[in-house]
């Protein structure tokens, strides 16, 4: 895991979980889709600022998060919505292209947010609730905040991006991708990873879509009084 340039306990924006000088909440509007999105978040994931499950809850209209704890069984009725078919996204599910698609207004998707081991644990708990569905995901992950554990493994929000694209929800997919890549870029900057951030930006759609916001984001940092910047010793941050 990478280390942050901010100290443990540093104040963060309640919404985007970034330090105030890197806050991205004003960058983009909400993502709207007829698909209902829910996230089952492992209890350890709630303390990770880089969580993309939190990103989904923040930017996707109507998205809900349900905290998973092994000691507290969850009730399907508390998660599943009446009148909607529940899809549980997982690589070991039915291929989406082999499923007769209902109208999106009749679908609810449940994403499992945590490490791969934590996701496997959650799947065992929720598998009887609905239909396991897998997606055609190829290429490399754009989630540069954590090491992806093996080829073909992606973050929670990237699974949702793949689903939106496969369902033809192009506008929602495009908007969510901008949110996701802005989150990654700003998080890299917040960790002091200037050169990886620049490399990431060069191949990101946010470079053309949000030039003014990105300029303000960087200038906000440059404009800080020198005394407000932390020394190298002070910047020994928390592990995320």
Q: Which residues contact 234 (CB under 8 A, 6 or more apart)?
A: 7
Overall residue count recorded for the chain in this entry: 240
Query: For the chain, which residues score pLDDT lower than 70?
Result: 1-9, 148-151, 220-240
Structure tokens at 158: 């990237």
Token look-up 């192009």 returns 170
d(CA 57, CA 156): 12
Domains of the chain, start order: 28-167 (3.40.1280)
d(CA 61, CA 37): 9
Instruction: Note whether 76 and 45 are within 8 A (CB).
Output: no
Structure tokens at 239: 């592990």
Instruction: Note whether 178 and 171 are within 8 A (CB).
Output: no
pTM of full prediction above 0.75: yes
Reported as a single tens digit per residue, the pLDDT across 1-55 is 333 444 456 788 988 989 999 999 999 999 999 999 999 999 999 888 788 999 9
The reported pLDDT for the residue numbered 219 is: 83
The reported pLDDT for the residue numbered 8 is: 54
């Amino acid at each position: 895991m990478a280390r942050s340039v901010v100290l443990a306990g540093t104040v963060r924006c309640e919404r985007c979980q970034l330090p105030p000088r890197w806050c991205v909440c004003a960058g983009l509007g909400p993502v709207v889709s007829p698909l209902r999105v829910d996230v089952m978040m492992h209890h350890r994931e709630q303390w990770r600022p880089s969580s993309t499950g939190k990103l989904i809850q923040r930017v996707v209209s109507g998205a809900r998060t349900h905290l998973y704890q092994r000691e507290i069984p969850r009730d399907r009725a508390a998660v599943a919505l009446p009148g909607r078919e529940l899809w549980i996204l997982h690589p070991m599910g039915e291929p989406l292209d082999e499923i007769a698609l209902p109208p999106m207004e009749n679908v609810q998707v449940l994403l499992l947010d945590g490490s791969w081991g934590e996701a496997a644990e959650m799947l065992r708990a929720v598998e009887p609730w609905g239909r396991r569905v897998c997606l055609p995901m190829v290429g490399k992950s754009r989630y540069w905040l954590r090491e992806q554990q093996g080829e073909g493994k992606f973050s929670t929000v990237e699974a949702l991006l793949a689903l939106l694209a496969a369902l033809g929800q192009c506008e929602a997919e495009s908007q969510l991708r901008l949110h996701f890549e802005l989150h990654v870029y700003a998080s890299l900057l917040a960790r002091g990873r200037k050169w990886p951030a620049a490399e990431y930006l060069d191949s990101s759609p946010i470079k053309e879509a949000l030039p003014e916001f990105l300029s303000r984001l960087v200038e906000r940092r440059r404009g800080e009084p020198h005394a407000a910047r932390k020394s190298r010793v002070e910047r020994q941050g928390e592990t995320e």
